[in-house]
């Protein structure tokens, strides 16, 4: 098994761990609502998951849907692809992981007053710890996505 094949697993793994951590932070905050550290973690670090929860709750009203309905199936599909050494399930998980990471980024865009950047376009991104969490998720998902496409192009080129 090549290193590039294993590198595809990084995106779904990071996405699952971040979603699991956000869900655990919410559960811990329910048990200790006076903890300043838990409020910081919940609002600043994992605020992207809170906003996407509000968007998704209009469509699906299942508790912990982001973890159970989105991140866990993507992670399990990636685990199956890695364990069975199959390219397709791992590539599908990688692509779905990038799609979910893009959904997290789009959910962060607030309908309120946008900030004007040098490009004269409006974009809202989290600041501080939330930015690092979002950048880590997007970076690993994009890397995983690119590696899966590189491996498929390499396989197609070898068959030609």
Instruction: Please give the model's pTM, rounded to 2 decimal places.
Output: 0.82
The encoded tokens of residue 115 equal: 């900030």
Averaged pLDDT for residues 134-145:
90
User: Furthest-apart CA pair in the chain: how many Å?
Assistant: 63
What is the reported pLDDT for 81? 92
List the one residue out of 121, 90, 67 whose CA is nearest residue 10: 90
Q: Which residue has the tokens 């971040």?
A: 18
The pLDDT-based confidence of 113 (bands split at 50, 70, 90) is: very low
What percent of the chain lies above the pLDDT cut of 90? 32
* pLDDT of 133 over the 70 cut: yes
């Amino acid at each position: 098994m090549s290193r590039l094949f294993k590198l595809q697993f990084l995106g779904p793994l990071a996405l699952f761990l971040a979603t699991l951590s956000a869900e655990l932070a919410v559960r811990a905050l329910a048990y200790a609502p006076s903890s300043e550290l838990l409020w910081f973690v919940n609002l600043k670090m994992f605020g992207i998951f809170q906003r996407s929860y509000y968007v998704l709750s209009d469509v699906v009203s299942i508790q912990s849907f982001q973890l159970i309905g989105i991140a866990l199936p993507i992670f399990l599909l990636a685990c199956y692809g890695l364990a069975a050494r199959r390219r397709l399930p791992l590539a599908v998980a990688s692509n779905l992981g990038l799609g979910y990471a893009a959904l997290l980024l789009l959910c962060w865009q607030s309908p309120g007053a946008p900030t004007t950047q040098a490009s004269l376009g409006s974009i809202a991104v989290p600041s501080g710890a939330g930015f690092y969490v979002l950048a880590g998720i997007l970076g690993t998902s994009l890397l995983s996505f690119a590696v899966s496409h590189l491996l498929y192009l390499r396989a197609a080129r070898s068959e030609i």
